[in-house]
Amino acid sequence: MQSDRDALGSATENAPLDVVTGAFGYTGRAIAQELLRRGRRVRTLTGHPSRPGADRRIESHPYSFEDPEALRRSLDGVSTFYNTYWIRFARRDLTFEQALANSALLFAAANDAGVQRVVHVSVSNPAADSPYPYFRGKAEVEQILAATHPSWAVVRPTVIFGSGDILLNNIAWLLRRFPVFFIPGDGCYRLRPIHADDVGSLCANLGSERENRVVNAVGPDTFTFEEMVRAIREAAEVRSRLIHTPPRLAMLGSSIVGTLVRDVVLSKHELGGMMAEDAFTDSATTGARRLVDWLADQGRELGRTYASELERHFR
């Protein structure tokens, strides 16, 4: 670990140490970069400790779910633990039940290591009785955290956009490559997109507090799904035709594309949650960056290449 400590630089060697799970990923990266900007030291727990291009300022440890003592040691000396760990869908032996058990191990290790504060990134509208395992599992993780640690905050983001995005990028990719784009159902279900950097800032702010809080992370604008797709299409400067289809047909089309790109393009629980407006809340705005402004800046390059979830996390 000497090289990692050297990379941090002497100016920050006495700064408070925080842990961010998945700091080389998407949401975790936004949190980690915000903490580094604030002069904090950052360590990450990751399933990809040797990922090319990883930030050398960040000390890296693997998830050690099979060794609780090693997991606890990776959290020694940590002030705040920022947890983004979860899965989009079940894959091989990594099920939602296993992800739930792993989350419990993380919180127990943080408590045993004397971590002062836990900030957990959940999802908008989690519910223990949700028919969708993603949202149901998120609710259970929140309950485990509240029962495990004395000082915590839960951040519930809606749709997150920004550098490294998968959802909006792949919508643009589909719009660029196919003459038609399927809108499941009426397309009128609402979303409140928030920029990843705004999520990072919100999490860092909550890390400095001690009150137990649940905060919805939402952007300043509301879109229907169809409005969002149209905004992406306009920004990408393409003319793919939008066609409303039954959700089952949209899932079939997604499965066919998934076979072609060897990825899970869209899961049933993601589509179901979106159509149930689980990605919408009328809470006060917590993010300043507007999706339309980001699309105006990034739209011409968005979707030029496909962003694979399996490539990013499983291969």
CA triplet 163, 244, 91: central angle to 5 degrees?
Answer: 50
Structure tokens at 84: 């983004």
pLDDT digits (tens, 9 = 90+) for 225-276: 999 999 999 999 999 999 999 999 999 999 999 999 999 999 999 999 999 9
Q: How many helices (H) and strands (E) does the chain have?
A: 12, 13
pLDDT digits (tens, 9 = 90+) for 173-184: 999 999 999 999
Residues 35-59 have a mean pLDDT of 87
Same domain, 179 and 129: no
Structure tokens at 46: 């990751």
Partners of 121 in the beta sheet?
Answer: 155
Same domain, 213 and 304: no
In whole angstroms, how large is the CA radius of gyration of the chain?
Answer: 19
Q: Which residues of 155-183 are buried (b: 16+ CB within 10 A; e: fewer)?
A: bbbbbbbbeebbbbbbbbbbbbeeeebbb
Q: Is the pLDDT of residue 148 over 80?
A: yes
Cα–Cα distance for residue pair 158/28, rounded to 1 Å: 15
Question: Nearest Cα to 190, choosing from 225, 221, 161?
Answer: 225
Q: Is the pLDDT of residue 11 over 70?
A: no
Cα–Cα distance for residue pair 284/194, rounded to 1 Å: 12
Cα–Cα distance for residue pair 105/81, rounded to 1 Å: 13
Same domain, 185 and 199: no
Same domain, 203 and 70: yes
For residue 30, the domain's CATH number is 3.40.50.720
Domain hosting residue 296, numbered range = 167-191+221-313
Least confident among 54-63, 189-198, 199-208? 54-63
Same domain, 286 and 172: yes
Cα–Cα distance for residue pair 162/256, rounded to 1 Å: 27
Q: Is the pLDDT of residue 53 over 50?
A: yes
Structure tokens at 39: 């002069």
Q: Is the pLDDT of residue 2 over 70?
A: no
Q: In this predicted structure, what is the pLDDT of residue 92?
A: 84
Cα–Cα distance for residue pair 57/34, rounded to 1 Å: 13
Least confident among 9-23, 174-188, 255-269, 290-304? 9-23
Same domain, 201 and 69: yes
Helices (H), the chain: 2-8, 27-37, 68-73, 96-112, 133-148, 167-177, 196-207, 225-236, 247-261, 268-275, 291-298, 309-313
Q: What's the chain's length in residues?
A: 315
Same domain, 285 and 232: yes
Same domain, 97 and 116: yes
Say which residues have a Cβ less than 8 Å from residue 206's Cβ, sequence separation at least 6: 119, 153, 155, 213, 215
3-state secondary structure of 45: strand
Question: Nearest Cα to 198, choosing from 149, 239, 163?
Answer: 163
Q: Is the pLDDT of residue 3 over 60?
A: no
Same domain, 93 and 178: no
Same domain, 203 and 132: yes
Q: Is the pLDDT of residue 24 over 50?
A: yes
pLDDT above 70: percentage of residues in the chain: 95
Work out the mean pLDDT of the chain and round it to a whole number. 94
Q: In this predicted structure, what is the pLDDT of residue 156?
A: 98
For residue 265, the domain's CATH number is 3.90.25
pLDDT band with cut points at 50, 70 and 90 for residue 49: confident
Same domain, 237 and 210: no
Q: For the chain, what is the domain count?
A: 2
Same domain, 35 and 176: no
Residues 28-42 have a mean pLDDT of 97
Q: In this predicted structure, what is the pLDDT of residue 152?
A: 98
Cα–Cα distance for residue pair 143/272, rounded to 1 Å: 23
pLDDT digits (tens, 9 = 90+) for 270-289: 999 999 999 999 999 999 99
